[in-house]
Amino acid sequence: MKLATLRNGSRDGELVVVSRDARMYMSASAIAPNLLDAIERWQAVAQPLQALSDELNASRVAAARHFVPADCGAPLPRCYQWCDASAFLNHGRLMERAFNTPPIPDFDSTPVMYQGASDDFLGPYDDVALPCEADGIDFEGEFGVVLAETPMGVDADSALGYVRLVVQINDWSLRSYGPREMKSGFGFLQAKPSTSFAPIAVTPDDLGAAWNNGRVSMNLHVSWNGQWFGHPHGSEMNFSFGQLIAHAARTRRLSAGTIIGSGTVSNAARANGSACIAERRVIEMIDEGSARTPFMRFGDRVRMQARLADEHSGPFGVIDQRVVKAETDRRAS
């Protein structure tokens, strides 16, 4: 089952069911007004939503309309909690070198995770307004899961049973703030502006074999200003989503709608490219002695789409965004 959120002037948008080929959609507002409400009442709404999806895919819904991804916000325009990990150890080790930080103890055995802002997620085609090019504007392609209410102390195997949806993410970063905030011991704040999402959230069963052992086994294709940047594969995720969920829930329960991110998709094979600029830059430093690739400038575009090796489209749709200069207003309203 595929779900999306159409903008309708409200803060949380309108929940719709999307056809398997992502060509058509049908409003699900009679079942749940928005996706956050649906996640909170999943036991009650999952069957009616699936029935609507089955009808739509069988072309038996007369009121079906053409699906326009640009009309979508993030599947969850806001939620109660967004926790992002660094589950691809290849990326984490490269970032240690990029930021010149000491190795994290138990990095290979215990996930690292920060709590990001979850009040203002961006849609797949939204312009990304940021204050300054000198901040080191970077994209980060990753995957994520949306959870039902998850109990404290859940183990990694049981944790996957609380995954309701899988999503594709661009976790924007401002690299100039990263080193100081990492060394402060308090985690990211200014280094992490609002996060972007592909238009479609997918139930794990709809991914078939691509949902494997708590990982999204798909290539994440990334292009920057129309040029190939990378297509790393999600199967090299060192910690599964089950392990990440168990880590986040070790000392507290997780509210319905919590999103857990994988961190930047990263492969050991250099030929697969990268899903963020910082990773390419540190590889250049290692291989060539200095970083040559600049960070993003205003007007730049980044496009991301997760696809199977033999496909030209993907289940989540596309993130295609332009970076623009923010118009700031410091006056209190």
So what's the pLDDT on residue 93? 81
Cα–Cα distance, 41 to 35 (Å, whole number)? 10
Say if residue 140 is in the same domain as residue 228. Answer: yes
Q: For residue 292, what is the domain's CATH number? A: 3.90.850.10
For residue 205, being part of any structural domain is answered with yes
Q: How much is the pTM?
A: 0.94
Indicate the length of the chain as a whole number: 333
So what's the pLDDT on residue 94? 81
Say if residue 173 is in the same domain as residue 87. Answer: yes
For residue 270, being part of any structural domain is answered with yes
Say if residue 110 is in the same domain as residue 62. Answer: no
Say if residue 43 is in the same domain as residue 90. Answer: no
Look at phi and psi of residue 137 and say left if phi exceeds 0, alpha if psi is from -120 to 50, else beta. Answer: beta
* Structural domain for 228, as ranges: 82-325
**Domain-terminating residue out of 43, 67, 91:** 67
Say if residue 211 is in the same domain as residue 300. Answer: yes
Residue 206: closest CA among 195, 194, 218, 196: 218
For residue 53, being part of any structural domain is answered with yes
Residue 204 half-sphere exposure toward CB, CA atoms < 13 A: 17
- Spacing of C-alpha 138 from chain mean position: 14
So what's the pLDDT on residue 40? 98
Say if residue 53 is in the same domain as residue 161. Answer: no
- Spacing of C-alpha 204 from chain mean position: 15
For residue 72, being part of any structural domain is answered with no
Say if residue 251 is in the same domain as residue 141. Answer: yes
**Domain-terminating residue out of 24, 44, 67:** 67
Say if residue 200 is in the same domain as residue 237. Answer: yes
Q: Report CA-CA distances (Å) from 111 to 39, 86, 88, 298, 317.
A: 26, 7, 10, 34, 28
Say if residue 33 is in the same domain as residue 116. Answer: no
Total domains, the chain? 2
Say if residue 294 is in the same domain as residue 183. Answer: yes
* Per-residue tens of pLDDT for the chain, all 333 residues: 999 999 999 999 999 999 999 999 999 999 999 999 999 999 999 999 999 999 999 999 888 999 999 999 999 999 999 999 999 998 778 877 766 667 777 878 899 899 999 999 999 999 999 999 999 999 999 999 999 999 999 999 999 999 999 999 999 999 988 778 777 777 787 889 999 999 999 999 999 999 999 999 999 999 999 999 999 999 999 999 999 999 999 999 999 999 999 999 999 999 999 999 999 999 999 889 899 999 999 999 999 999 987 777 899 999 999 999 998 766 555
**Domain-terminating residue out of 32, 67, 102:** 67
Cα–Cα distance, 166 to 155 (Å, whole number)? 19
So what's the pLDDT on residue 99? 63
* Whether the Cβ atoms of residue 192 and residue 142 lie closer than 8 Å to each other: no
Q: Which residues contact 41 (CB under 8 A, 6 or more apart)?
A: 32
Say if residue 24 is in the same domain as residue 94. Answer: no
Cα–Cα distance, 102 to 96 (Å, whole number)? 7
For residue 76, being part of any structural domain is answered with no
So what's the pLDDT on residue 297? 98
111 residue type, one letter? P
For residue 330, being part of any structural domain is answered with no
Alpha helices per DSSP H over 14-103:
35-40, 42-57, 89-99
For residue 74, being part of any structural domain is answered with no
For residue 332, being part of any structural domain is answered with no
Say if residue 177 is in the same domain as residue 33. Answer: no
- Tokens (6 digits) for 247: 């880590």
Q: Which residues contact 152 (CB under 8 A, 6 or more apart)?
A: 249, 250, 251, 252, 253
